[in-house]
Every structure is written in structure tokens, then in C-alpha cells.
């Protein structure tokens, strides 16, 4: 197949770096995306506060089990497809190219939403920390703009350098949360009790909403496949990193949520979470450890957010690269540096983050969005930018995982490649149905996630944007099939050496 200069990236482009990342590096980048300290401080308290349920710790276990079952088919499919556009490539080869293109745009919107939303919390927390410790008053958006530049610089450098930075930050996060867990179990005002580990506390009317709030803590776990082209051994590295990340995240969050409830007391954890929110962790530690350690915790909370920002930035950059390489987006997006970093995709994500952030700045500062919140005006970047975008991103990624489960069945339908029914049918079917149910619960409770008493049309504007992105993608895919068949044939199949193309799959599926 030949391609014109407008439909394919330049042949001298070195592409992504090869055989760079091992299991530890990819696992750490996945965990960095979930931001452990942020989840324990913010996610756990929010779950207790909003759901009013004591089943939050077990909720993490249930989600981990669902995602482990999902990973069975997901990683099996990954042995035959190595593509930086992970979801996009899997769905293209499992359900057809037009649906794959639709999935790619949903992935771009969702990952961008997750990443940019976290900027809102980062800017707010850093601004508040500097004012509290040094009396230095500064606008929240200043720190976001500076952080966007730093993340962008790391994004255009070697991925192994970025992995090392994230690895150090994640290790420090784990250390400080472990200290918090130990202190909580030592304080235990009501004794070291298993009250919040009682299944009866979870499996009731609140089950759905607990899972809705808990699933966001795992977003990013599916990202191992995005680094497949840069993995040392894609067939082994990606599955191992995926399973390791799910196990570590699930068990660590469940244990820490349980320890949190023991430290505050099961009878008080809901009320205290509603009263203090994410500050509860720091208020608790301030009463039992030195001020210096609490300050260190606050700093690591900020680095936790930074690590998450960098991880999601890397994922978005690689999606842009994959789509540009295959001609779905302008081929400029396929540009990589001599070190194998997707610089064009990184720059694109940086520009998007800047534009969206400036939009929120104008909305809050110029058009009175912050003032409309009254006494909560200082929380503007958290209640809008962070809350709106991260919940939207999580919703889109859960939807994509449900579709991926169907794609696994479609991929192995005609050739199981020696794999059993559990891997190719049962596991993806069960996990797909459960993820679809979680997605429905997210939509049904989206107003709760946004802090609204009742849903309005505005509640669903962002979810509608995600769905529209998918529809636009499907239409664009059908258009490529008619107008540019040579581009259409390579959708989701990769064009770089080392990527599994149609020649390795054996049959060119023209769907």
C-alpha cells in the first residue's frame, strides 16, 4: 500500500522508543494516574460522605474483582495487538473500524477531561497551601498554567525519564499513606473492628452509588496497553503490569479505606467525612503526628496530583500519535522526537489544557462564575473544573471498557487462537455486563457526583459531549471508508515496525 505525503507520516520519523519500559515502570505509571494519596484523602472521604455507606472499603474490592475479570480478555487480546491507541485499536479489530474511530474520539475526550480536571484541584490545593503556610496569596490558575508547562516539557522527553519521576513520586505517596494507616490502626477509638468489612454494609441499596464513586479511583489501570509499543516484551509486560496495577490499587485502597474508618471510628466516619471532606485525613494526622509530617503529607498530596497529570498527559499524547500515524487525524500528530517521544501529541494535549483552563479562568473571573457560588466562591476550580471534568472522564472510560469487552468477543469469534471459552467469551461477557451496569449507574447518579440535588439539562451537557464525540467518530470512519479506502484499511492496525498489523493477524477484516 502506498500513501501520499498528506496521508502518512514521513518515513524518516523514528517513531516511539522501543523496548524501553519494563513491568515496574508501566505499573508505576498506571498507579500514578490513579493518584493513591489523592484517592485516600479525597476519594475515600467523598465516598463515605455522599453514599452514607460503611461499605466503601469492600466497594474497592468488588471493583478490583470486576476489572480483574475484564483484564482476562483485555490482556489476551493485547497479545495480538500492540498499538499506542489501545482502546481504539482493540475496538477497531473487534467490532469494526468505524466504531473504533468513534471509540478513539471518546478516549481523547475522556483522557483529556480526566487530566485537565485534575489541574483544577492541583491549582486550588497549591494556592491554599502557600497561603496557609506562608501567607502568600495567589490565584489558583497561576499554578495551573505553570504546571501545564512542566508537564508538557516532561511529555516531550524520553518516556523512561518520565517513568522514573513518576516512580519516585508514587513510592513517596505509598509511604505516607502507609504511615497514615499505621497511625489510624494505633489510634482506633472504637477498637480495630471489621465493621466496615461486613458485606451487609455494601450489598444493599447503596451498592450502585458506592461503585460509582469508587470506580474513578481505578481510571488509568487500562493504560498499560497504551505503552505496548514501548514495552520491553509487549506480550508479557503489558498483562503483568495490568494485573499488578489492579491488584495493588484494589487491595491498597480497600485496606486504607478500612484503616481510615478504624482511625476515625466506624460510627463517626460518615459524619466526619461529611463535615471535613478531603481535609479529614490531614485534620486527623495533625492531632497525632508532628506538624512537619502533616506539611510533608500536603506536599505529597500535590505531587500525587502532579503524577496523575503526567500519566494522563502521556496517555493522551500516545492516542494522538496513533491516530495521526494511521491517518485518522492529520499526520502531523504522528511526529516523534529522536528519543521516541510523541512530541506532537504532547504539544497538542498541552494546548488543549491551556485553552480549557483559560476558558474556566474567564468563566470564573470575568463572567462571574465564581461569584455565583456565594460563600463557596473560593472552591470554584474544585466544584467546576475538577468535579465536572474528572467525573465526565471516568464516565467515558467506563463506557469504553464495556465496549472493549464486546470487542474481545468479536475479535476471538472466528479464531480463538487456542484460548478457552473463559478467556474469549465468559470473562468478557460477565465483565462487560457489569461495566455496562456501572455506566448506567454513573449516568443515573451524575447529578449526585456534581453535587446537585436534582438533575437538570445542564447535568448532562458533558456526558452528551462524550457521546457526540463517539458519533462524530463513527461518521468520520464511514467517510474514510468511502473517500480514502487506503487509510480506512490501516485503521486500528498500526503502521510502525513492531506493531501487529493485518499481515500478522492473518486475515484483513474490512469492517
Q: In this predicted model, what pLDDT tens digit does every residue of 82-114 receive, in sequence order? A: 776 678 888 999 999 999 999 999 999 999 999
Predicted confidence at residue 159, as pLDDT, reads: 65
Residue 418 in grid coordinates = 487456542
Q: Phi, psi at residue 231, to the nearest 5°?
A: -75, 150
Query: 207 pLDDT exceeds 70?
Result: yes
Measured CA to CA, the distance from residue 92 to residue 358 in angstroms comes to 35
Query: 501 pLDDT exceeds 50?
Result: no
Local confidence band at 254 (pLDDT 50, 70, 90 cut-offs): very high
Predicted confidence at residue 157, as pLDDT, reads: 77
Among the residue ranges 31-40, 110-119, 432-441, the one predicted with the least confidence is 31-40
- Measured between its terminal Cα atoms, the distance across the chain in Å is 18
CB 45 within 8 A of CB 273: yes
Alpha helices in 11-85 (DSSP H): 23-34, 36-38, 44-51, 56-78
Predicted confidence at residue 371, as pLDDT, reads: 72
Predicted confidence at residue 498, as pLDDT, reads: 43
Local confidence band at 269 (pLDDT 50, 70, 90 cut-offs): very high
Task: Please list the helix, strand and coil fractions of the chain in percent, rounded to the nearest 5, in that order.
Answer: 75, 0, 25
Instruction: Compare 424 and 87 and report the one with higher pLDDT.
Output: 424
Predicted confidence at residue 18, as pLDDT, reads: 56
The residues spanned by each domain of the chain are: 23-85+112-362+482-505
Among the residue ranges 13-27, 178-192, 385-399, the one predicted with the least confidence is 13-27
Q: Name the region of 424 (left: φ>0; alpha: ψ -120 to 50; beta: rest).
A: alpha
CB contact burial 134-151 (16+ within 10 A = b; e otherwise): eeeeeebbebbbebbeeb
Q: What is the mean pLDDT of the chain?
A: 85
Counting residues of the chain whose pLDDT is more than 70, the rounded percentage is 88
pTM of the model: 0.85
Instruction: Compare 130 and 510 and report the one with higher pLDDT.
Output: 130
What is 23-85+112-362+482-505's CATH superfamily?
A: Amino acid/polyamine transporter I (1.20.1740.10)
Q: In this predicted model, what pLDDT tens digit does every residue of 2-55 receive, in sequence order? A: 343 334 444 445 555 555 667 777 787 778 777 788 888 888 988 898 888 899
Query: 479 pLDDT exceeds 90?
Result: yes
Predicted confidence at residue 212, as pLDDT, reads: 86
Mean pLDDT of 230-242: 78
* Cα-trace Rg, the chain: 22
Q: In this predicted model, what pLDDT tens digit does every residue of 142-169 receive, in sequence order? A: 999 999 999 999 888 766 666 677 778 8
Query: 436 pLDDT exceeds 50?
Result: yes
Instruction: Compare 17 and 290 and report the one with higher pLDDT.
Output: 290
Q: Phi, psi at residue 47, to the nearest 5°?
A: -65, -45
Amino acid at each position: 500500500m502506498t500513501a501520499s505525503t498528506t496521508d502518512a507520516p514521513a518515513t524518516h520519523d523514528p517513531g516511539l522508543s522501543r523496548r524501553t519500559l519494563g513491568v515496574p515502570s508501566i505499573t508505576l505509571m498506571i498507579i500514578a494516574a490513579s493518584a493513591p494519596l489523592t484517592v485516600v484523602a479525597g476519594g475515600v472521604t467523598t465516598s463515605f460522605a455522599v453514599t452514607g455507606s460503611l461499605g466503601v472499603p469492600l466497594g474497592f474490592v468488588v471493583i478490583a474483582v470486576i476489572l480483574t475479570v475484564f483484564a482476562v480478555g483485555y490482556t489476551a487480546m493485547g497479545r495480538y495487538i500492540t498499538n499506542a491507541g489501545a482502546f481504539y485499536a482493540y475496538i477497531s479489530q473487534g467490532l469494526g473500524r468505524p466504531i473504533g474511530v468513534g471509540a478513539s474520539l471518546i478516549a481523547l475526550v475522556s483522557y483529556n477531561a480526566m487530566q485537565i480536571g485534575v489541574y483544577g484541584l492541583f491549582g486550588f490545593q497549591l494556592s491554599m497551601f502557600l497561603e496557609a503556610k506562608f501567607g502568600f496569596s495567589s490565584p489558583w490558575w497561576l499554578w495551573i498554567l505553570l504546571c501545564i508547562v512542566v508537564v508538557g516539557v516532561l511529555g516531550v522527553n524520553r518516556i523512561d525519564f518520565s517513568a522514573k519521576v513518576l516512580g519516585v513520586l508514587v513510592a513517596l505517596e505509598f509511604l505516607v499513606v502507609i504511615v497514615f494507616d499505621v497511625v489510624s490502626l494505633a489510634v482506633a477509638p472504637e477498637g480495630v473492628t471489621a465493621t466496615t468489612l461486613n458485606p451487609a454494609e455494601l450489598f444493599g441499596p447503596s451498592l450502585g452509588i458506592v461503585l460509582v464513586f469508587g470506580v474513578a479511583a481505578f481510571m488509568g489501570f487500562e493504560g498499560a496497553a497504551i505503552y505496548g509499543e514501548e514495552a520491553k516484551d509487549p506480550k508479557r509486560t503489558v498483562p503483568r503490569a495490568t494485573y499488578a496495577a489492579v491488584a495493588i490499587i484494589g487491595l491498597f485502597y480497600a485496606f486504607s479505606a478500612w484503616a481510615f474508618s478504624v482511625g476515625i471510628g466506624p460510627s463517626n466516619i460518615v459524619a466526619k467525612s461529611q463535615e471535613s471532606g478531603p481535609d479529614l485525613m490531614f485534620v486527623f494526622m495533625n492531632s497525632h503526628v508532628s506538624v512537619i509530617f502533616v506539611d510533608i503529607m500536603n506536599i505529597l498530596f500535590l505531587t500525587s496530583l502532579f503524577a496523575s497529570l503526567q500519566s494522563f498527559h502521556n496517555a493522551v499524547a500516545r492516542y494522538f500519535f496513533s491516530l495521526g500515524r494511521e491517518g485518522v487525524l492529520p499526520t502531523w500528530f504522528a511526529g516523534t522526537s529522536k528519543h521516541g517521544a510523541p512530541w506532537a501529541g504532547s504539544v497538542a494535549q498541552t494546548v488543549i489544557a491551556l485553552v480549557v483552563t483559560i476558558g474556566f479562568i474567564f468563566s470564573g473571573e470575568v463572567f462571574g462564575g465564581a461569584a455565583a457560588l456565594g460563600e463557596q466562591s473560593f472552591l470554584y476550580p474544585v466544584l467546576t473544573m475538577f468535579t465536572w471534568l474528572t467525573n465526565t472522564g471516568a464516565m467515558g472510560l467506563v463506557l469504553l471498557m464495556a465496549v472493549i469487552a464486546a470487542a474481545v468477543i468479536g475479535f476471538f469469534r472466528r479464531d480463538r487462537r487456542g484460548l478457552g471459552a473463559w478467556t474469549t467469551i465468559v470473562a468478557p461477557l460477565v465483565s462487560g455486563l457489569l461495566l455496562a451496569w456501572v455506566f448506567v449507574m454513573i449516568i443515573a447518579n451524575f447529578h449526585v457526583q456534581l453535587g446537585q440535588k436534582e438533575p437538570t439539562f445542564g447535568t448532562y451537557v458533558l456526558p452528551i459531549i462524550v457521546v457526540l464525540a463517539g458519533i462524530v467518530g463513527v461518521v468520520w470512519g464511514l467517510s474514510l471508508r468511502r473517500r480514502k479506502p487506503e487509510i480506512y484499511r490501516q485503521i486500528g492496525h498500526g503502521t510502525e515496525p513492531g506493531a501487529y498489523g493485518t499481515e500478522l493477524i492473518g486475515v484483513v477484516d474490512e469492517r
